[in-house]
Amino acid sequence: MTAQKSTPREWAVAFPRTLRHLAEEAAAHPNASDKEKKVLREAVEQLDMSSERLANIFAAHDALLMGDDWREPFDPDSPIHLAIALAAAFTIGGRVISNPIVGQARAAHARQKRELESKKIDAVILRHAERLWAQNATAPNSAGFTAAEIIDAVNRELPRPLKKRALESRLHKHMMSRTIR
């Protein structure tokens, strides 16, 4: 038994239903934020309204072809309804359908953001460490000593405090790169 192929019209009716179902499932997910739920609800409403208007265009076309009397007036806003339906479908699809390319782009963006934050943290650490080293030339040249001396000042400038071991690790990496040069 072979599967019956759907017509373009059947697909056009089923596709918005599928998107609606996906959006409702995504909005019901416990990790969905209120903002995400709102965006999905609005997109579903737009898709429903526009799909209904587009279905009327199909019906009018059929009536015209069949020679039937179509009593509803022509809808001059049809292109607008099509654009709204497409935008709503794009919004829903972009939020509920996994896309590896978008996932890679998001991961790259998150990585760049972490690297930038790390560089800012390193700049704060180095500013305090270099000030200590300039003031106290006889201070031991160790990451542990430096971290113990500057940890409070560094943590006052950071959004999240560093533990002493993390500060030592960053200082050690910097100190190693200075001796290699």
Same structural domain, 21 and 73:
yes
pLDDT higher for 4 or 105? 105
Are residues 38 and 54 part of one domain?
A: yes
Greater pLDDT, 10 or 43: 43
Number of domains the chain contains: 2
Q: State the first-to-last Cα distance of the chain, in angstroms, to the nearest integer.
A: 74
Range of the domain at 28: 8-98
Residue 166: inside a domain: yes
Instruction: Please indicate, yes or no, whether residues 93 and 112 belong to a single structural domain of this protein.
Output: no
Nearest to 107 by CA among 97, 99, 95: 99
Q: What is the DSSP letter of 31?
A: T
pLDDT confidence of residue 4: 65
Calculate mean pLDDT across residues 153-162: 94
pLDDT at residue 19, rounded to an integer: 83
- Strands (E) across the chain are located at none
Mean pLDDT of 98-115: 81
Helix axes 8-28, 78-96, angle to 10 degrees: 50
Lowest mean pLDDT among 82-86, 119-123, 124-128: 82-86
**177 membership: H or E segment, kind and range:** helix 164-180
In this structure, what DSSP letter does residue 111 have? H
Domain for residue 3, yes or no? no
Q: What sign results for the dihedral spanned by CA atoms 27, 28, 31, 37?
A: positive
Q: Are residues 77 and 110 in the same domain?
A: no
pLDDT score for 160: 93
| DSSP character at residue 2 | P
CA dist 122 to 40, 68, 130, 156, Å? 40, 76, 12, 14
Higher-pLDDT residue of 126 and 106 is 126
Choose the final residue of a domain: 98, 115, 150. Answer: 98
Assign 7 a pLDDT band (cuts: 50, 70, 90): low
**Domain stops at, among 98, 119, 137:** 98
The CA–CA distances, whole Å, from 171 to 44, 45, 107, 124, 143 equal 52, 55, 27, 11, 5
| pLDDT classification of 168: cutoffs 50, 70, 90 | very high
How confident is the model over 31-72, as pLDDT tens digits?
Answer: 888 998 898 888 888 888 887 777 777 777 777 777 777 666
Judge whether residue 181 has pLDDT over 50. no
- Whether the pLDDT of residue 105 is over 50: the answer is yes
